[in-house]
Amino acid sequence: MTWLVTGGAGYIGAHVVRALQEAGLAAVVIDDLSSGHRRFVAPDVPFVHGSILDGGLVLDTLRYHRADGVIHVAGFKYAGVSVEKPLHTYQQNVEGTRVLLAAMHEAGVGRIVFSSSAAVYGNTDQDLVTEDTPKSPTSPYGESKLIGEWLLRDQGVATGLAHTSLRYFNVVGSGYPDVYDTSPHNLFPLVFDALVEGRTPRINGDDYPTPDGTNVRDYLHVADLALAHVAAAQALLAGRPSRPPTTSAAATAHP
């Protein structure tokens, strides 16, 4: 079984590729290296240098490697920057997903795991967030991820595409010494860069309802996230639904 991993040379994508290999599943990577690194992809993994906006390249890759499914990690992932560059964000995340789905349909590939985001919920005051919590994204990035879920949903209704969307946030850590977070916007790189340069890491905000006034965030280890992507892929291969039946119009998974 072979899975095409879009963005597979990036921080999250490279972890997904290695988790696939450890689960006995083959992987193929397509990445434009705008934020990923060729060195993150092992020599034994086929690598295609290009953009998912190139539908012909995606189609050729799917066909040549006889992909059984796609794990779609590629995208512009910076929520703050997306406010300054909304058109770029929509091009990469919405148009890129549309082009990918069109190529999948033409190639007869009917399974996709979508790396979505908890940004689709926006700012919620609910203590417990579920898949059916109302969606109210507050940035073009969050909006683009929600539109991506809609594209999968509608393609599923139209063609029977099997799909799962994983909504996660605040990813940290590393599962391998040679694969790590290089984003200039993420917590660990910011903290370690400051320490290496002899600066005190900056904490934003001092008026939150916490003991010291700073905000509290939950974080997910990237290796656990990679395993979740593989579990979702395996569920799709087995024809299992990824969540109980629902009447919600915003369902994130279908058998």
pLDDT tens for 53-80 read 999 999 999 999 999 999 999 999 989 8
- Active site members: 141
- Per-residue pLDDT of 5-59, as tens digits, reads 999 999 999 999 999 999 999 999 999 999 999 999 999 999 999 999 999 999 9
**What is the crossing angle of helices 96-107 and 55-64, to 10°?**
40
Domain 2-171+219-254 classification at class level:
alpha beta
Q: Domain ranges in the chain?
A: 2-171+219-254
Alpha carbons within 13 A on the beta-carbon side of 238:
9
Q: How much is the pTM?
A: 0.91
Tell me how crowded residue 184 is: count the other CB atoms within 10 A of its CB: 10
pLDDT of residue 184: 83
**From CA 252, how far away is CA 131, in angstroms rounded?**
7
- Per-residue pLDDT of 128-164, as tens digits, reads 888 889 999 999 999 999 999 999 999 999 999 999 9
**From CA 68, how far away is CA 3, in angstroms rounded?**
6
